[in-house]
Chain A
Amino acid sequence: MSRDTLRIGLLFSATGSYAALGAAMRAGAELAIDEVNADPSAPVRLDPVPVDPGGVTAAYADGALALLRDHGVTHVFGCYTSSSRKEVLPVFEKHDGLLWYPSHYEGFETSDNVIYTGAAPNQHIVPLARHLLARHGNRGWFVGSNYVWAWENNRILREALMEAGGAVMGERYFPVGETDLGALAAQIVRDRPDFVFTTLIGESGYQFFRLLREAAERAGLDQPRDLPVASCSLSEVELPFIGAAAEGHLSSSVYFSTIDSPQNARFAERWNARFGYLGQACADAEATYIAVHMLVGAVARAGATGLAAVREAVRGLRFDAPQGPVEIDPDNLHCQMRPRIGRSTAAGTFEIIFEEAQPVRPDPYLVWVNAPQAGRGEARRPDHLRLVT
């Protein structure tokens, strides 16, 4: 018996300055596509059309347009940076497409044309801020790639430090891809903050880790201990690119390849067999894997593949993911996920040093953070509407 084929778009940059992540995300999609296509009970067969914008923000809109208009695709999995997502949003709105955005991001968005399967800010930067304040101190040095991911995370962390009576000792931004960071590393070593928070992405980030390690060693410091670096994006597939300086950095993420569960063991085994050359499986790859399975789950639920039917069917949909159970929030179409903090190891993995007791509801506008009635995991949502007629 033959199933209908559903053509889907994959809009990832497997080339360019953040190629490691783009390649891993596309791999996560392909892994899920293979599983779906091998499953006779799945409602559809998936036929992926990959487009590679090469990490060039402006090329994303063209790629999205080609997928939605020329290939007649409705569902596209793609984008890593927020600037690329903002670039394609008007195209999805105009052509009635649904973007499955599988990356952690800074929040403050709930588009009707996007399903968000990566972590929201209350699931990455907020737990990291708590951890840094509790374990490392309140004087931070912020360094980032010059776009909204860095600006917004830094704002959130800055406010947390200020509230705790701390200080931001320095804050610098660089163009995506910048690697001339020697003077910056030297300055940070001179300033000796309690921790460094980096939102540098791709090559810039890898070079920064190497240069900071060198500068710290020249000053006789044990960098991971004396000058710890924390991030909300550092992932397994990036560690091999950092080389010898890859060990000992903190990352806040809802997924690490070292999560100990049968689901993750199965996922890791398939990943290693097919994509082991990319490094260990990482959060953005897992989020992409989740997104593909969520689409298929929604199609099964709706009995249709159109935008409106799928968007309705996806509300409250659950998936037993490698990270644990994940549920799409019916209200804001982000995912309920479990925040974790890991420390990178020489083996290219993360040792998990903190784990939230249960999945946390997504709060993209940080409405419920610090709310008195909200438990840490369970944001309170009152029945907010009163009708006067």
Chain B
Amino acid sequence: MKRAITSNFRGLHALVVHGDDMNRETLVSVLGRLGLSVTVLLPDAVPPVGAPACDLLLFDADEDIAGPCPAQDWPDVPVIALIGSEAPSRLARVVGHRCDSHILKPIRTTGVFTAILLAVNGHQRRRRHEREMENLRQRLSGRREVTRAVLHLMSTGGIDEEAAYEALRQEAMNRRVAIEEVARGILGAGSAAAPPPPRPGLSRKA
């Protein structure tokens, strides 16, 4: 299913970290046309502990703002690099700040909308992927416990691997929890309490 892209940015709050010049003037005026509210901040005025709250961050990649405020302290919002110098040393910070898109200087009215659209939609996709990855990571880390729980049930209940796994799965479905959680419960209770009976639908609280 194709997702509709976000193309209206009305009401978003943009933080522009850039010196006071024509580039910033053009950028701020286009952001206003697109319905965003804007806070501007000089690069040397970035506070050392976290940038101010915003929905979208546009920063001057030619300035060293990572010094006072390292990238990991930035809010997790779409980030757009405003690039003048294409020297690799400058661009390295663009990579380091996981920029979602960029605008080349001199900034013109053309291109700002595209940069915002790509940044906002790219950021949404990245957040989605991160959630999926976190999900997978948790399931992966639970796999070892599932295996141990299966082995535990096999040895204590005298059943084969398939029946042991089926018992775990059934319990997870009945309780509407992840199979990893059932496994952890069995292993936690395993040594202290009596092993759960090796039949489907085991209802004892682990």
| CB of B154 closer than 8 Å to a CB of A | no
Nearest neighbor of A162 in chain B, beta-carbon distance: B4
Do B38 and A386 touch (CB < 8 A)? yes
Cβ-defined partner of B38 (8 Å) among A89, A159, A366, A385: A385
Do B31 and A384 touch (CB < 8 A)? yes
A-B contact sample (20 more), CB < 8 A, given A111-B109, A368-B35: A109-B110, A159-B4, A331-B29, A331-B33, A332-B33, A365-B33, A365-B35, A365-B113, A367-B33, A371-B35, A381-B32, A382-B37, A384-B31, A384-B32, A384-B35, A385-B28, A385-B37, A386-B40, A388-B45, A388-B52
A355-389 near B? 1/0 per residue, CB < 8 Å: 00000000001111001000000000110111111
Q: What is the distance, in angstroms, from A292's C-beta to the closest C-beta of chain B?
A: 24
Do B34 and A367 touch (CB < 8 A)? yes
Residues of A within 8 A of B177 (CB): none
**19 A-B interface contacts by CB (under 8 A):** A93-B108, A109-B110, A110-B109, A332-B33, A365-B8, A365-B33, A365-B35, A367-B10, A367-B33, A368-B35, A371-B35, A382-B37, A385-B28, A385-B37, A385-B40, A388-B39, A388-B41, A388-B45, A389-B42
Q: Which residues 15-45 in B have Cβ within 8 Å of A in the complex?
A: 28-42, 45
| CB of A108 closer than 8 Å to a CB of B | yes
Residues of A within 8 A of B33 (CB): 110, 331-332, 365, 367
Residues of B within 8 A of A332 (CB): 33
**Bound Cα distance from A109 to B110, whole angstroms:** 7
Residues of A within 8 A of B35 (CB): 365, 367-368, 371, 384
| CB of A247 closer than 8 Å to a CB of B | no
Q: What is the distance, in angstroms, from A221's C-beta to the closest C-beta of chain B?
A: 34
Given A112-B108, A367-B10, does the pair A385, B32 have CB atoms closer than 8 Å?
yes
**Bound Cα distance from A331 to B31, whole angstroms:** 11
Given A366-B8, A367-B8, does the pair A386, B110 have CB atoms closer than 8 Å?
no
**Bound Cα distance from A109 to B32, whole angstroms:** 14
Q: How many residues of B contact A (CB 8 A)?
A: 25
**Bound Cα distance from A365 to B10, whole angstroms:** 10
Residues of B within 8 A of A331 (CB): 29, 32-33
| Chief secondary structure at chain A's binding surface | loop
Q: What is the distance, in angstroms, from A336's C-beta to the closest C-beta of chain B?
A: 15
Q: What is the distance, in angstroms, from B102's C-beta to the closest C-beta of chain A?
A: 19
Q: How many residues of A contact B (CB 8 A)?
A: 23
The 4 closest A-B pairs by CB, nearest first: A367-B35, A384-B32, A384-B37, A386-B39
Using a CB–CB cutoff of 8 Å, the interface residues on chain B facing chain A are 4, 8-10, 28-42, 45, 52, 108-110, 113
Do A371 and B37 touch (CB < 8 A)? no
**Bound Cα distance from A111 to B34, whole angstroms:** 14
Q: What is the distance, in angstroms, from B69's C-beta to the closest C-beta of chain A?
A: 14
Do A384 and B110 touch (CB < 8 A)? no
Nearest neighbor of A367 in chain B, beta-carbon distance: B35
Given A108-B113, A111-B109, A112-B109, does the pair A384, B38 have CB atoms closer than 8 Å?
yes
Do B45 and A371 touch (CB < 8 A)? no
Do B37 and A110 touch (CB < 8 A)? no
Q: What is the distance, in angstroms, from A309's C-beta to the closest C-beta of chain B?
A: 17
A91-134 near B? 1/0 per residue, CB < 8 Å: 00100000000000000111110000000000000000000000
Residues of A within 8 A of B108 (CB): 93, 111-112
Nearest neighbor of B17 in chain A, beta-carbon distance: A388
Residues of A within 8 A of B110 (CB): 89, 109, 111
**Bound Cα distance from A332 to B30, whole angstroms:** 9
Q: What is the distance, in angstroms, from A154's C-beta to the closest C-beta of chain B?
A: 14
Residues of A within 8 A of B113 (CB): 108, 365
**Bound Cα distance from A112 to B28, whole angstroms:** 14
**Bound Cα distance from A242 to B84, whole angstroms:** 53
**Bound Cα distance from A68 to B29, whole angstroms:** 28
**Bound Cα distance from A159 to B7, whole angstroms:** 12
Q: What is the distance, in angstroms, from B54's C-beta to the closest C-beta of chain A?
A: 11
Do B109 and A386 touch (CB < 8 A)? no
Residues of A within 8 A of B30 (CB): 110
**Bound Cα distance from A385 to B31, whole angstroms:** 9
Nearest neighbor of B36 in chain A, beta-carbon distance: A384
Q: Which residues 288-317 in A have Cβ within 8 Å of B in the complex?
A: none
Residues of A within 8 A of B36 (CB): 384
